[in-house]
Amino acid sequence: MITAVHTLVYATDAQAAREFFRDVLEWPHVDARGGWLIFATGPSELGVHPAEDTPSHEISLMCDDVEQTVAELAERGAEFASEIVDRGFGLCIDMRVPGAGTMLLYQPQHPVAYPLAEQ
């Protein structure tokens, strides 16, 4: 039986990215050894979208209130590459992850599946 999804973020500055997830997002973690942190990401869900070209994968972070979350994260040092915009599926903003580009943060406006895992 599958017990979890392990997500990978590739970063040119892995230490800076790890510090961001640890210190700014304040995600709980374990040290796998020698400072190699593995983070608990909380509830998750997976969607499959059609690909027009080469298939790829994307990581998005979801929240209940994007304006409040952006304000809280900005207080802890997070930087954003855009303003909050309504993309139909959710209220979205691109958050900078040090050494790893940007990651979408959004407040979904679609039904969410992650509570189903708790049943």
Tokens 């209940």: give the residue.
64
pTM: 0.90
Contact predicate 109/85, CB 8 Å: no
Which tens digit of pLDDT belongs to each residue from 68-117? 999 999 999 999 999 999 999 999 999 999 999 999 999 999 999 988 87
pLDDT at 118 over 70: yes
- The answer to whether 12 and 99 are in contact (CB under 8 A) is yes
The first and second tokens of residue 65, run together, are 């209130």
The DSSP string of 8-49 is ----TTHHHHHHIIIIIS---EEE-STT-EEE---S------
Q: Is 58 helix (H, G, I), strand (E, B) or coil?
A: coil
Delineate the domains of the chain, giving CATH numbers in brackets.
Answer: 14-42+59-118 (3.10.180.10)
Q: For the chain, how far is it from start to end, CA to CA, in angstroms?
A: 16
Mean pLDDT of 50-67: 94
